[in-house]
């Protein structure tokens, strides 16, 4: 498992273009996906944060009891499945698609749920939630292709997406 | 009963883990920070350590590396425990020295089984072979330090044991320089030698060989008691303790001779040295223990069929254990690059001869251990 739930604290992994941050979020009764897609708050408060550089992603370089993460600047977030589902998935999910998404310095592969007649042109940040869920997903660093991060679900920041490729 | 040190900054989780382990028959101690963990680990030398990676101030990787470097905990089983579960996290933990890696949340049974899997092998390795090897030379410049460094590396083989070379030229020993290691501070601070004071002074070479550098003290004479205590600690931590001593042992003669299980008489092809060895041998035999073996070694030999080796056997009435060839180019290169011959010229005849000698020493130590255990 990539993440674990501690009471109402959700353990998750946050990735920027340069750093990996492992920490816990008070999500209350909402899934973490909802908090990330909540536009009324631009920051996410995270506790017990262990920080690694993506150049050495296993090494912990710093610890912070609390940290504010700017949602717009996160590339992707690895979470347990039940923390990924936002309202969007409830409305449209009916068929699974495979996708390869490129972000600055990272490739993410996984599955996502969409309507039967999915039109990739509708896949824009303006029309949907900011964070797109990819299930059974794996992220690979372009600079260190042997290093992968996998999880039940990866929430990809659509505003950071460079290309979104649908596969069979 | 094997003792497990449980290290986690979450006290509630410590309680649960300790309960699992105690139910499985282990004794437990615990620590809630990296610094407390090291303090307890060095003092208690537990058989196993369950180590949380994500801890504030000093993370588990840092703790793991320091535990592995220290001879008191180098053989403990270390199980890394963390909520970070990516492949790179496992690789990082193993590279830091962990034996196994478990992801939170984990099953108590899984943790117990992991420790039990490593326990028999580790317990067997925790009984040092008490192999203290003294290089006895009768004059300077016969290649004793070169042999000590190379033999130490050959003995520090991953599959065969742990080795340390102690530079007992207390005033001006240069073994650490020879290996490109930098010594910090002296291990002779007072007459009282403690494990806590000694262990941090040991240097670790990339070959896995540990080195106790010369303290480089100004006093001409040092009492033998501190040196004897140091050797006692080293013998309890390592399978092989190689002593690099000056030609004149001075006040240390009794301490080093009486505690060594093997004495290598280092002889270069010179009649004067052979005469000196012949004269010294009865005195050496008076000091050493009855079971101590004495092996003459011919160093800097011009050829493998060295006539000098035959002379040595006739005069000392001891078989020559090794004839080490004269290899000035390889030795010169090794000194310049600070990389001993067994590493810088592994295919050389000298390297082969040193490995052969190391193999013989390991076999002899094994025989002694079998006799001691009655097997």
**A149: which 2 tokens?**
């991060």
Evaluate whether A75 touches A104 at the Cβ level (below 8 Å): yes
User: B57 contacts in A (CB within 8 Å)?
Assistant: 63
Peptide bond into B214 cis (omega under 30): no
First CA to last CA distance, chain B: 24
List where CATH 2.30.30.100 sits in chain A.
82-167
Q: Are residues B212 and B305 in the same domain?
A: yes
pLDDT(B175) > 60: yes
Question: What are the DSSP calls for B123-172, one per residue?
Answer: HHHTS---EEEEEEESSSSSSHHHHHHHHHHHH--TTT--EEEEE--TTT
Residue B41: CATH number of its domain:
3.40.50.2300
CB spacing of A58 vs B59 below 8 angstroms: no
Q: Are residues B169 and B300 in the same domain?
A: yes
Other beta carbons less than 10 A from residue B247's beta carbon:
15
Q: What's the rounded Cα separation, in Å, for the pair B241 and B84?
A: 40
User: B54 contacts in A (CB within 8 Å)?
Assistant: 22, 48, 50, 60
pLDDT tier at B195, thresholds 50, 70, 90: confident
Other beta carbons less than 10 A from residue A94's beta carbon:
11
Q: Are residues B106 and B150 in the same domain?
A: no
Instruction: Please name which of B242, B64, B266 lies closest in space to residue A58, comparing C-alpha atoms.
Output: B64
**Is A150 in CB contact (< 8 Å) with chain B?**
yes
Best of A21, A58, A143 to disrupt the B interface by mutation (most B CBs within 10 Å)? A58
CB spacing of A58 vs B85 below 8 angstroms: no
Strands A9-15 and A19-26: antiparallel
Looking at CATH, the fold of the domain delimited by A3-74 is given as SH3 type barrels. (2.30.30)
Instruction: Please name which of B54, B52, B47 lies closest in space to residue B24, comparing C-alpha atoms.
Output: B47
Q: Are residues B195 and B338 in the same domain?
A: yes
Q: What is the DSSP letter of B326?
A: P
pLDDT(A126) > 70: no
Strands B210-212 and B240-244: unpaired
User: What is the share, in percent, of chain A residues with pLDDT greater than 90?
Assistant: 49
Q: What's the rounded Cα separation, in Å, for the pair B240 and B228?
A: 16
Angle between helices B60-69 and B34-44 (to 10 degrees): 20
Q: Are residues B28 and B43 in the same domain?
A: yes
Q: Which long-range contacts (CB under 8 A, 24 or more apart) does B318-322 make?
A: B318/B265, B318/B294, B319/B295, B320/B295, B320/B296, B321/B264, B321/B295, B321/B296, B321/B297, B321/B357, B321/B360, B322/B295, B322/B297, B322/B298, B322/B353, B322/B356, B322/B357, B322/B360
Per-residue pLDDT, averaged over A18-46, amounts to 89
pLDDT(B126) > 70: no
Q: What is the CATH code of the structural domain delimited by A82-167? A: 2.30.30.100
b (16+ CB within 10 A) / e for B366-375 = eebbeeeeee
Other beta carbons less than 10 A from residue B141's beta carbon:
10
Number of domains in chain B: 2
**Is A3 in CB contact (< 8 Å) with chain B?**
yes
CB spacing of B54 vs A22 below 8 angstroms: yes
Number of Cα atoms under 13 Å in the Cβ half of residue B340? 28
Q: Of B84, B99, B124, which residue constitutes the final position of a domain?
A: B124
Q: What's the rounded Cα separation, in Å, for the pair B74 and B69?
A: 6
Where on the phi/psi map is residue B250: left (φ > 0), alpha (ψ -120 to 50), or beta?
Answer: left
Other beta carbons less than 10 A from residue A95's beta carbon:
12
Q: What is the DSSP letter of B73?
A: T
Q: Are residues B114 and B135 in the same domain?
A: no
Nearest Cα of chain B lies from the Cα of A118 at a distance, in angstroms, of 32
Residue tagged 């309202």 (tokens): A87
**Is A62 in CB contact (< 8 Å) with chain B?**
no
b (16+ CB within 10 A) / e for A110-125 = bebbbeeebeeeebee
User: Mean pLDDT for chain B?
Assistant: 88
Evaluate whether B361 touches B368 at the Cβ level (below 8 Å): no
Helices (H) and strands (E) in chain B, counts: 15, 13
Q: What does the pLDDT read at residue B90?
A: 94
Q: What does the pLDDT read at residue B50?
A: 97
Residue B222: CATH number of its domain:
3.40.50.300
Most confident of A80-84, B112-116, B119-123: B112-116
Instruction: Please name which of B351, B309, B308, B307 lies closest in space to residue B329, comparing C-alpha atoms.
Output: B351
Angle value at C-alpha B210, between B207 and B186, nearest 5 degrees: 140
Q: Are residues B96 and B136 in the same domain?
A: no
Q: What's the rounded Cα separation, in Å, for the pair B106 and B114?
A: 12
CB spacing of A147 vs B93 below 8 angstroms: no
Instruction: Please name which of B114, B116, B101 lies closest in space to residue B25, comparing C-alpha atoms.
Output: B116
Cα B25 to chain centroid distance, Å, stands at: 32
pLDDT tier at B152, thresholds 50, 70, 90: very high
B61-65, B223-227, B283-287: segment of lowest average pLDDT: B223-227
Q: What does the pLDDT read at residue B305?
A: 57
Regarding pTM above 0.80, the answer is no
> What confidence tens digit (pLDDT) does each residue in B14-38 have?
999 999 999 999 999 999 999 999 9
Per-residue pLDDT, averaged over B47-75, amounts to 93
Other beta carbons less than 10 A from residue A28's beta carbon:
10
Q: Are residues B103 and B208 in the same domain?
A: no
Identify the domain containing residue B47 by its residue range. 3-124
Q: Are residues B22 and B58 in the same domain?
A: yes
Other beta carbons less than 10 A from residue B23's beta carbon:
10
Angle between helices B87-96 and B60-69 (to 10 degrees): 30
Q: What does the pLDDT read at residue A97?
A: 86
CB spacing of B86 vs A60 below 8 angstroms: no
CB spacing of A63 vs B59 below 8 angstroms: yes
CB spacing of B56 vs A59 below 8 angstroms: no
Beta-sheet strands, E only, within chain B: 3-7, 27-31, 48-52, 77-82, 100-103, 131-137, 163-167, 203-204, 210-212, 240-244, 262-267, 293-301, 322-325
Q: Are residues B243 and B112 in the same domain?
A: no
For residues B47 and A96, the model is more confident at B47
User: B88 contacts in A (CB within 8 Å)?
Assistant: 57-58, 147-149
Q: Are residues B105 and B137 in the same domain?
A: no
- By C-alpha distance, the chain B residue nearest A139 is B86
Evaluate whether B7 touches B31 at the Cβ level (below 8 Å): yes
Evaluate whether B213 touches B200 at the Cβ level (below 8 Å): no
pLDDT(A5) > 60: no
Nearest Cα of chain B lies from the Cα of A20 at a distance, in angstroms, of 11
φ/ψ of residue B365, rounded to 5: -65, -35
pLDDT tier at B63, thresholds 50, 70, 90: very high
For residues B92 and A41, the model is more confident at B92
Q: Are residues B186 and B208 in the same domain?
A: yes
Q: What does the pLDDT read at residue A71?
A: 93
Q: What does the pLDDT read at residue B43?
A: 87
Q: What does the pLDDT read at residue A88?
A: 47
Q: Of B71, B92, B124, which residue constitutes the final position of a domain?
A: B124
For residues B304 and B307, the model is more confident at B307
């Amino acid at each position: 498992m990539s993440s674990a739930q501690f009471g109402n604290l959700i353990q998750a992994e946050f990735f920027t273009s340069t750093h990996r941050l492992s920490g816990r979020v008070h999500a209350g009764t909402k899934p973490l996906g909802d908090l990330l897609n909540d536009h009324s708050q631009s920051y996410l408060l995270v506790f017990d944060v262990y920080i690694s550089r993506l150049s050495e992603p296993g090494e912990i370089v710093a610890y912070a009891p609390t940290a504010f993460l700017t949602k717009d600047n996160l590339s992707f977030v690895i979470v347990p499945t039940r923390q990924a589902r936002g309202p969007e998935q409830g409305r449209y999910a009916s068929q699974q698609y495979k996708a390869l998404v490129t972000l600055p310095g990272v490739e993410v592969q996984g599955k996502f749920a969409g309507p039967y007649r999915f039109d990739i042109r509708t896949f824009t940040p303006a029309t949907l939630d900011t964070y797109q869920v990819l299930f059974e997903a794996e992220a690979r660093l372009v600079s260190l292709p042997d290093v992968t991060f996998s999880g039940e679900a990866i929430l990809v920041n659509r505003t950071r997406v460079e290309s979104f490729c649908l596969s069979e | 009963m094997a003792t497990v040190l449980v290290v986690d900054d979450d006290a509630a989780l410590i309680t649960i883990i300790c309960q699992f382990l105690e139910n499985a028959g282990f004794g437990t101690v615990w620590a809630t920070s990296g610094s407390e963990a090291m303090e307890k680990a060095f003092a208690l030398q537990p058989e196993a350590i369950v180590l949380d990676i994500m801890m504030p101030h000093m993370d588990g990787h840092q703790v793991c590396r320091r535990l592995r470097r220290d001879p008191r905990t180098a053989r403990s089983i270390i199980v890394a425990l963390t909520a970070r579960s990516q492949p790179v996290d496992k690789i990082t933990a193993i590279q830091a020295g962990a034996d196994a890696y478990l992801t939170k949340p984990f099953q108590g049974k899984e943790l117990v089984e992991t420790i039990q899997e490593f326990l028999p092998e580790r317990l067997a390795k925790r009984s040092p072979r008490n192999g203290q090897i003294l290089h006895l030379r009768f004059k300077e410049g016969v290649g004793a330090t070169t042999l000590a460094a190379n033999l130490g590396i050959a003995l520090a083989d991953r599959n065969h044991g742990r080795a340390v070379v102690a530079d007992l030229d207390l005033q001006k020993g240069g073994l650490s320089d020879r290996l490109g290691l930098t010594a910090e501070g002296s291990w002779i601070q007072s007459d009282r030698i403690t494990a806590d004071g000694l262990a941090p002074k040991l240097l670790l070479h990339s070959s896995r060989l540990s080195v106790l550098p010369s303290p480089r003290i100004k006093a001409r004479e040092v009492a033998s008691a501190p040196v004897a205590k140091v050797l006692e600690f080293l013998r309890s931590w390592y399978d092989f303790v190689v002593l690099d001593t000056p030609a004149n042992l001075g006040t240390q003669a009794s301490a080093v001779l009486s505690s060594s299980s093997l004495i290598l008489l280092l002889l270069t092809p010179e009649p004067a040295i052979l005469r000196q060895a012949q004269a010294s041998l009865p005195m050496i035999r008076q000091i050493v223990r009855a079971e101590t073996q004495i092996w003459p070694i011919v160093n800097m030999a011009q050829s493998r069929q060295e006539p000098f080796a035959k002379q040595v056997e006739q005069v000392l009435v001891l078989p020559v254990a090794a004839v080490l060839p004269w290899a000035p180019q390889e030795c010169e290169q090794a000194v310049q690059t600070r990389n001993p011959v067994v590493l810088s010229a592994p295919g050389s005849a000298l390297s082969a001869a040193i490995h052969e000698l190391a193999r013989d020493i390991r076999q002899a130590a094994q025989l002694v251990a079998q006799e001691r255990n009655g097997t």
